[in-house]
Chain A
Amino acid sequence: MTEHAKISLNNVCKSFGRKHVLNNLTLDVKAGESVVVIGGSGTGKSVMLKCILGLLTPESGEIYIDGKQIVGLPASEREASLRKTGMLFQYAALFDSLPVWENVAFGLIQAHGMKRSDARDVAIEKLALVGLGPDMANRNPSELSIGMQKRVGLARAIATNPEIIFFDEPTTGLDPIMGDVIDNLIRDCTRHLGASTLTISHDMESAQKIADRIALIYKGEVVWVGPADEIEHCGNPYVEQFVRGDIKGPIELDILKP
């Protein structure tokens, strides 16, 4: 584990049946750093995130959050370590049985024991940070556009002022303008909080905008990691192929050739 790493994955392996999804994956995110993990579909990005969050258990390897090994931790201890994290899901994953403000305040009420009236005030404050007015607070998530849902998801992710925030494909399914809005919000919110962030994405433009460092995953292992501004001239054939979006190169695609 690298010193001062906020998140550290060491030789993490995860398989589903005979399919090896993560192969000795190693990656660090330092305090206050924004790391974006890029890679094609099915390369193990989401599985990596689920392993960090404890939604999946890796077969081998170690995962540290703030220096604490979280693989195999009992549920109560894992819940405690998740209290310092926030997560924005790909499709926001808002609770459709709750109004917007309660979605945002959920972590404050349930995990931090804040009074509902106080939590509502914080929720409205966080909604304002992502550009949504107080009139949105009582709306149902199903009444919102996907862009608005993502902004509510972002407000929920930052509501508890977490030290670590995870973003799962934050710009997927959004038009370029809304994608840019979300990127800017992510950058502003995380700078404002001083949080460490780990984002998974296949949107190169978005990755370069929000990342300090970028890592490329291929077949469940990190094949390149480096500063965001070096990605276009790094000389790594995998990265070059991915950045160019070229079908020819070392990255093999699981599609049948005509």
Chain B
Amino acid sequence: MEWNFLAKIGRVTLNFMRAVGHLTMFTGHSVRHVFLPPFFLRLFLKQLMSIGYYSLPVVGMTALFTGMVLALQIYVGSSRFNAESAVATIVVIGLTRELAPVLSGLMVAGRVGAAIAAEIGTMRVTEQIDALVTLSTNPYKYLVAPRILAGMITLPALVLIADIIGVSGGFLVATESLGFNASSYMKNTFDFLETRDVVSGLIKASVFGFIVSLMGCYHGFNSTGGAQGVGRATTNAVVSSFILILISDYFLTVLLLD
């Protein structure tokens, strides 16, 4: 009984180490091909559209309502110790440093990470990736590199837009329902906002974009077993992106705190 338990722990540890090794190798190959020619500009531009432009509505909606809710909640909290004037500052710092990159990352992971895993997974199970190899085309270069590069570039752009929309949402609620003066709210927003608040959010967004694209590609690339396997790859891509975004968010916050 005890030996069985030990064997189970050993098996789980070995499987975990194997998965980590496999993912590390995949990441190494993928990153290498981002920098090595030939570059597939057409595919890269297509991915910019797919990951960036088509994610705008979902990211914009998320930012707008997050900004609005944030203004309301901070107003409730700050009014308990007569610090209502801090609403604008907390909304803008909360959004730019934390909420816009994390929520945009999670929304893009749900929308794009799943789509990447499903597309590449289907290509795997229908032998399209094998066909690429037989046509002398490296699948890392053709499929993975453009997606990773596009993810790393588009997510910061989306977050910048989310910052603006989110702050506008907070402004709307503060001036229309909470009775704030529009010009003093804007003054409080920009007086205490520093460049590094925005930049740290954009750096986080770039890392999250990398994670989302990488997880989508990795799980799609390694999917097996037909339609069920593609479904599993899609779920795994989204779940692992969510977990990695939240874990890396903590470490990035510690790194970028000062």
In chain A, residues 38-78, which have Cβ atoms closer than 8 Å to a Cβ of chain B? 50, 53-55, 75
How close is A109's CB to chain B, nearest CB, in angstroms? 10
Residues of chain A with a CB closer than 8 A to B128's CB: 93-96
Q: Which B residues contact A (CB, under 8 angstroms)? A: 119, 122-123, 126-128, 130-131, 133-138, 142
Cα distance, A110 to B135, chains bound together (Å)? 8
Q: Which A residues contact B (CB, under 8 angstroms)? A: 50, 53-55, 75, 79-80, 82-83, 85-87, 89-91, 93-97, 106-107, 110-111, 156, 166
- Are A110 and B137 in contact, CB atoms less than 8 angstroms apart? yes
What does DSSP make chain B's interface, helix, strand, loop or mixed?
A: helix
- Are B126 and A93 in contact, CB atoms less than 8 angstroms apart? yes
Residues of chain A with a CB closer than 8 A to B133's CB: 53-55, 82
How close is A52's CB to chain B, nearest CB, in angstroms? 10
Residues of chain A with a CB closer than 8 A to B130's CB: 50, 53, 55, 89, 93
A-B pairs with beta carbons under 8 A, tally:
53
Name, among A53, A55, A90, A93, the residue most crowded by chain B CB atoms within 10 Å (CB to CB).
A93
Query: Would you give 13 A-B contacts (Cβ < 8 Å), ordered by A?
Result: A53-B133, A55-B133, A86-B134, A91-B126, A93-B127, A93-B130, A94-B128, A95-B128, A95-B131, A96-B122, A96-B128, A97-B119, A107-B136
Residues of chain A with a CB closer than 8 A to B123's CB: 95
How close is A163's CB to chain B, nearest CB, in angstroms? 14
15 further contact pairs, Cβ within 8 A, besides A50-B130, A53-B133, A91-B127: A53-B134, A55-B133, A79-B137, A80-B136, A85-B134, A89-B127, A95-B123, A95-B128, A95-B131, A97-B119, A107-B135, A107-B136, A110-B137, A110-B142, A111-B137
Nearest residue, chain A, Cβ from B126: A93
Residues of chain B with a CB closer than 8 A to A93's CB: 126-128, 130-131
Nearest residue, chain A, Cβ from B40: A110
Cα distance, A5 to B21, chains bound together (Å)? 39
Residues of chain A with a CB closer than 8 A to B135's CB: 82, 106-107, 110-111, 156
How close is B138's CB to chain A, nearest CB, in angstroms? 6
Cα distance, A53 to B142, chains bound together (Å)? 18
